């Protein structure tokens, strides 16, 4: 009959790995459902953001910057190209490479997603003050940087 507010086990409740995981699940939920409404998904934003900030790049570089596996970059770029948000052209100076360029439509789409994502941050961090948000960013950045340092090439370059 009754439910009675079933709390998680203490072991989990205090484990950073669990908390990070739960927070990530919630964040992922927000991202996928709101990006879906904009006909996008996480990988698309990452790639468009990298292109907008650093200019045209090869697929491998995009993967390195965004933490997306090379093979997944291929698929995501295919989707973006299908919607004319990016363009693939061969690199004349290195025939192994494609040079990926963001189109004007891609730029507009990115701007829109920027707004969507800003709202997501807002909702995600709603219970935190401005200072607390900065502190959270600081702490997580330290963890992520440390992870990168300890996991040399195999995890993000591909």
**Where do runs of H (alpha helix) occur along the chain?**
10-13, 16-37, 42-54, 59-66, 70-82, 104-124, 130-150
Q: Which does 68 bind (CB under 5 to 8 A by kind): its own copies, DNA, none?
A: DNA
Task: Report d(CA 104, CA 158) in Å as an integer.
Answer: 29
Among residues 24 and 111, whose Cβ is nearest to DNA?
24
Q: Least CB distance from residue 24 to its own copies, whole Å?
A: 3
Task: Report d(CA 46, CA 42) in Å as an integer.
Answer: 6
Residue span 31-60 as binding mask against its own copies, x where in contact by CB under 8 A, dash where not: x----------x---x--xx-xxx------
Task: Report d(CA 118, CA 116) in Å as an integer.
Answer: 5
Residue span 8-27 as binding mask against DNA, x where in contact by CB under 7 A, dash where not: -------------xx--xx-
Tokens of 54: 């650093």
Among residues 52 and 87, whose Cβ is nearest to DNA?
87
Q: Least CB distance from residue 139 to its own copies, whole Å?
A: 5
3-state SS class at 121: helix
Task: Report d(CA 36, CA 45) in Å as an integer.
Answer: 12
Q: Least CB distance from residue 122 to its own copies, whole Å?
A: 10
Residues 61 to 120: which contact its own copies by CB under 8 A? 61, 64-67, 114, 117, 120
């Amino acid at each position: 009959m009754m439910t009675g507010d079933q709390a998680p086990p203490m072991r989990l409740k205090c484990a950073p790995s669990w908390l990070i995981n739960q927070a990530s699940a919630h964040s992922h939920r927000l991202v996928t459902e709101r990006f879906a409404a904009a006909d996008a998904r996480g990988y698309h934003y990452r790639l468009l953001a990298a292109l907008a900030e650093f200019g045209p790049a090869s697929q491998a570089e995009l993967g390195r910057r965004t933490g997306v596996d090379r093979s997944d970059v291929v698929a995501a770029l295919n989707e973006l190209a299908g919607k004319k948000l990016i363009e693939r052209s061969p690199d004349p100076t290195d025939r192994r490479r494609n040079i990926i360029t963001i189109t004007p439509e891609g730029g507009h789409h990115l701007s829109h997603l920027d707004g969507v994502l800003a709202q997501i941050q807002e909702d995600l961090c709603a219970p935190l003050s401005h200072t607390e948000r900065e502190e959270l960013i600081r702490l997580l950045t330290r963890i992520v940087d440390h992870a990168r340092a300890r996991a040399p090439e195999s995890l993000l370059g591909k």
